[in-house]
Chains A and B, each alone.
Chain A
Amino acid sequence: MSETIAVIGGGPAGLEAARGVAELGGTAVLVEKESFLGGTPIRERYAALTPHFQSAEEAMGVLIDGVTSQPTAEVLLEHEVTACEGEAPDFRLTVTGPGGERVIECGSIIVATGFEHFDPGRETQLYGYYEHPDVLALQDLESMLKDHNVVRPSTGLPPERICFVQCVGSRDRHIGNEYCSKVCCGVASKEAIEVRQQLPGCKVFIFYIDMRMYGYWENQIYWPAQEEHHVQYIKGIITEVLKKGDKLLVRGEDTTMGRPMEVAMDMVILSVGMEPSKGTRAMAGILGIEPNKYGFINAANPPLDTVSTSRRGIFACGASLGPADLEDCASSGGAAAMKALAFLRRKPVKVG
C-alpha cells in the first residue's frame, strides 16, 4: 500500500489539497497540465479576487508557496494523467509529460481539475461574442482590469457605458445548463466596482434575472456597488446584442417596467457561467468515477460528505464538483486532503 496521494490539478482546490496532505504528514504528488500553478485565476489573469479584492496573483502566490515549500509535496508541471490501474490503496497512475511517461504509485487520488468558462459562441450566440470586438466575457474584463487598461477593443479608447449581462450559460434550460454558477453575480458586481474605480466617468449597468449574492457578499459587494460606486442594476433579460453604428445595441425586456428596452453601450460583458473543464470530463472517464448530467464529478454522499466520489479511495474537490467560489474550493480542497489521508491511515477494525 502506498501512502502517497496524487492530486490532479494545480488550481486553488488542488493546491489547498496538496498543501493539506503535506501539512498533515502525508506525501503529495501534484500533477498539473499547464507549465504553471494557480489554475484558472492565473491562466485567465484575474485581477482581484471576490469578495475581498486582494490581488489574485498575490493570493494565489501564497497558496502556491504553501505547496512548493513542503518537502513532502512534489509538483509535476506539464503532466497529464493518461491512465489509471489498480484499486485503492494501490493505484498506479500513469502521467505523461515532457520527459515521457511516469507511473505514480498512490494509495488515494484527489481530483481538482476544475471548470472552464462557458463559451458564448457555443449556444448563446445572440450576444455576438465572436461577432463584435466590444462584447467580452467576465474573464476578459478581469485581464483588462489587471492591467488597468479597460478599453474598447474596437477603438482602444476607454468606454463611457458598460453593461454586464448575467446568467449567460447558466440557469438556462434551453441549453441544458439549468444550474446557477454561483459566482457570476458576485464577480460581475466586483468587476463593476473596479471599472468605476478605474474609470470614474464610465456608467456601469448590470442586467440580471435576480442577483444571487449569498452570505456576506450582499454587504461586501452588492450594496457598496450601488451605494458607493453607483453601479446601476436593472432587472431584465437581455435577448440580443447588435451592432449599431459604433455602439452596441443591447435589447431585452425590463421586467420591472414590463416593457421592451433598447440601450446603447460601448462594451458588453457577458457573465459567463461555469462548465466542467475538459480535464474534469477526461478524469471521470480515466478514473472511472461517476459524473453528473452536466459532466461535473458527482459527490457520492451529499450533503455532509462533499468530496467522496463513486469510487473508493478517489476524492474530488473545487469546481470539478460543480460551480464553486474560491472559498468553496479552498474548503473542499482541505476536506479532500483530510478524507484521503484518513482513508489511508484508517486502522482496520477487529471484529470479535
Chain B
Amino acid sequence: MPIPVEALLKKKEHFERGPDDPRSEDFHHELFELEEQGEWIVHRAPEPWVGVTTKYGNIKKIPKAHLWHHKSCGQCGHIPGYSTSIFWVMRKLGYDYNDPRDQTSCTAWNYYASATSNAGAQAAVAMRNFAAAYESGYFPLIHCGTSYGHYKEVREELMKHPELRAQVRDIMGKLGKQMVMPEEIVHYSEWFYAMRHEIAALQTRDMSGIAATVHPACHYYKLVEGDAIYDPDVYRGQRTAIVTGVAEALGAEVRNYSTWFDCCGFGFRHILVQRDFTRSFATLRKIERMKEEADPDVVLTHDTGCVTTLDKSQFAAMAHGKNVGVPVMSEAQFAALAMGAHPYRVCQLHWHSADYRPLLEKMGIDWQAAWAEFQEDLKKLESGERKFSTWDDVG
C-alpha cells in the first residue's frame, strides 16, 4: 500500500485529458454543415498551419503565413510598437502577410461597455471584416483580445440563430459582400505561441536572467473559453498557455502571483466611466501583488487594453508612493527584443509609462545608444531628409 500523501501528490502531478472525456462540442461540424447548406463560405486556414490544443482537447489550426492583420484600435493609437513588433517578427521569420487598409473596428469596446449597438450590427461588422479578408485571399489574424473574443461570440450567435444570419445576409447584400466565416478565429498571440520555437531559434538576446509575470487577457480565455489554447506542459494544462509558453521558450523565468485570474482593471465600462476604479484595481490588485509576491522584471500580456491599463495606471500610483514600477509590454514586443529588435524603432517603448530602462539594461541593451539612434531618425524626419521610416530603416 503506498503512503497516501505521496500517492495523492503523484496523482495530482499531471492532468491528462482522456480521449473519451466529455468536452465541449467542436463547432467545426456545424460550421461546415452551414457551408453545405449554402449559408456561408468557410474560409479555410491556409497551409502550412500548426495544430495546437485547445482547452477541451480539440486541435486548432494556426496558419503560419498569408495572414490578414486585423489590427487593434487601442494598439495602434496608444502602443504602436505592439503591432510593429508583430509585423517585425513575422517578417524576420519570413512569413508573408497583408496589412489591410479596409479593416474596420470591431466596435466591441462600446458593446461590452453597454454603450452601443445590437446583435445584428455587431455580427455584420464581424462578417464585413471576414469578407474583406476573404476577398484579399489572406486569412484573418486578430490583434485585439476583445475583437477575438467578441468574434467568437458572434460566430456562436450566427451558428445558432438563423434569423440573425438572415439579417446579416441582408446587410452583406447591401454592401456587396459574401457571407464568410473563417475556419478558425485566430488571435495573434496564438500565432506567437505556435511559432515560439521558430522565434526562439532566431533569438539573439539572452532572456534567462529575466523574471516575468504573465497577465492572461480575460477576453482571450474567458469568452468562448473552449477555443483558447491550453498545454499540458504549461501550468499542468490548468491555465491558458500562450504568453507563458512564449516567455518560457525564450528562456525567461515566469513567476506566479495570486491575482493572475483578475482582470487588469480595464473593465470596459470602468475605463470609460469609472477610470479611478480602473487605476486603483490595476495597481493595487495587480501590479502591487505582482511586486509583493513575484518581484518581476517585466509584466507580459497579450491584449491592448491590458498593456495600456497595467502600464499607464502605474503613473498615478507612483505619485502616491505605492509599490509599483514594473515595465509592461506584450509578449510580441518581448519576443521582438529577444530576436534583436530595436527598442525604439521597432518596439517603440517610449510610448510606455513605467520605466523600462532597467529591464533593457538587464537584457544587455544599451538603451542610451538606441535612443540616440532613434533621435537621429527623428532629425531626418524633421529635416525632410526622410519622409517616413521603412522596414529597411529599422533593421
Q: What is the bound-complex CA distance between A149 and B4, given in angstroms? A: 9
- B263 to chain A minimum Cβ distance, whole angstroms, is 13
Contact of B12 among A130, A143, A146 (CB under 8 A): A130
Contact of B258 among A121, A156, A249, A278 (CB under 8 A): A249
| Chain B residues near A249 (CB-CB < 8 A) | 258
| Chain B residues near A240 (CB-CB < 8 A) | 261
Mask for B230-264, Cβ within 8 A of A = 1, else 0? Answer: 00000111110000000000000000101111000
Mask for B6-22, Cβ within 8 A of A = 1, else 0? Answer: 01110111110100111
| Chain B residues near A275 (CB-CB < 8 A) | 22
| Chain A residues near B258 (CB-CB < 8 A) | 242-244, 249
Q: Which residues in chain A, 132-181, are within 8 Å of chain B measured between CB atoms?
A: 133, 136, 140, 143-144, 146-147, 149, 151, 153, 156, 176
Main secondary structure of the interface of B (DSSP, over half): loop
Q: Across the interface, do A144 and B236 meet the contact criterion of CB distance under 8 Å?
A: no
Decide if A79 is an interface residue (CB 8 Å cutoff): no
Decide if B293 is an interface residue (CB 8 Å cutoff): yes
Q: What is the bound-complex CA distance between A316 and B14, given in angstroms? A: 34
**Known interface pairs A130-B12, A242-B261. Does A144 touch B5 (Cβ–Cβ under 8 Å)?**
yes
For A, the interface residue count at a CB cutoff of 8 angstroms equals 32
- A153 to chain B minimum Cβ distance, whole angstroms, is 5
Q: Which residues in chain A, 249-284, are within 8 Å of chain B measured between CB atoms?
A: 249, 275, 278, 281
**Known interface pairs A242-B261, A243-B258, A281-B20. Does A130 touch B8 (Cβ–Cβ under 8 Å)?**
no
- B366 to chain A minimum Cβ distance, whole angstroms, is 38
Q: Across the interface, do A143 and B4 meet the contact criterion of CB distance under 8 Å?
A: yes
**Known interface pairs A130-B238, A149-B5. Does A242 touch B15 (Cβ–Cβ under 8 Å)?**
no
Q: What is the bound-complex CA distance between A129 and B235, given in angstroms? A: 11
For B, the interface residue count at a CB cutoff of 8 angstroms equals 25
Q: Across the interface, do B238 and A147 meet the contact criterion of CB distance under 8 Å?
A: no
Q: Across the interface, do A133 and B261 meet the contact criterion of CB distance under 8 Å?
A: no
**Count of inter-chain pairs, beta carbons less than 8 A:** 64
| Chain A residues near B259 (CB-CB < 8 A) | 242
Q: Which residues in chain A, 98-134, are within 8 Å of chain B measured between CB atoms?
A: 119, 121-122, 125-126, 128-131, 133
Q: What is the bound-complex CA distance between A146 and B8, given in angstroms? A: 14
The residue in chain A whose Cβ has the minimal distance to the Cβ of B260 is A242
| Chain A residues near B236 (CB-CB < 8 A) | 121, 130-131
The residue in chain A whose Cβ has the minimal distance to the Cβ of B293 is A244
Contact of A128 among B13, B21, B238, B293 (CB under 8 A): B238
Q: Across the interface, do B22 and A176 meet the contact criterion of CB distance under 8 Å?
A: yes
**Known interface pairs A121-B237, A176-B22, A243-B256. Does A130 touch B14 (Cβ–Cβ under 8 Å)?**
yes
- B8 to chain A minimum Cβ distance, whole angstroms, is 5
The residue in chain B whose Cβ has the minimal distance to the Cβ of A295 is B22
Q: What is the bound-complex CA distance between A278 and B22, given in angstroms? A: 11
| Chain A residues near B235 (CB-CB < 8 A) | 131
Decide if A190 is an interface residue (CB 8 Å cutoff): no
| Chain A residues near B5 (CB-CB < 8 A) | 144, 149, 151, 153, 156
Q: What is the bound-complex CA distance between A130 and B230, given in angstroms? A: 14
Decide if A33 is an interface residue (CB 8 Å cutoff): no
Q: Across the interface, do A129 and B22 meet the contact criterion of CB distance under 8 Å?
A: no
- A166 to chain B minimum Cβ distance, whole angstroms, is 20
| Chain B residues near A143 (CB-CB < 8 A) | 4, 7-8
**Known interface pairs A240-B261, A243-B256, A243-B258. Does A144 touch B4 (Cβ–Cβ under 8 Å)?**
yes
Decide if A45 is an interface residue (CB 8 Å cutoff): yes
- B244 to chain A minimum Cβ distance, whole angstroms, is 13
Q: Across the interface, do A153 and B9 meet the contact criterion of CB distance under 8 Å?
A: yes
Q: What is the bound-complex CA distance between A130 and B237, given in angstroms? A: 9
Q: What is the bound-complex CA distance between A130 and B293, given in angstroms? A: 21
Q: Which residues in chain A, 58-114, are within 8 Å of chain B measured between CB atoms?
A: none
Closest 5 CB pairs of A and B: A121-B15, A242-B258, A244-B258, A125-B238, A130-B236
A143-B8, A151-B5, A245-B293 are known; give 14 further A-B pairs, CB within 8 A. Answer: A119-B15, A121-B236, A122-B15, A130-B236, A131-B236, A140-B11, A147-B4, A149-B4, A153-B9, A156-B5, A176-B22, A242-B258, A244-B258, A244-B293
Selected A-B contacts with CB under 8 Å, 23 pairs:
A121-B15, A121-B236, A121-B237, A122-B17, A122-B21, A128-B238, A129-B12, A130-B13, A131-B236, A133-B9, A143-B7, A144-B5, A144-B8, A151-B5, A153-B5, A153-B9, A176-B22, A240-B261, A243-B256, A244-B293, A249-B258, A275-B22, A278-B20
On B, residues with C-beta under 8 Å from A are 4-5, 7-9, 11-15, 17, 20-22, 235-239, 256, 258-261, 293
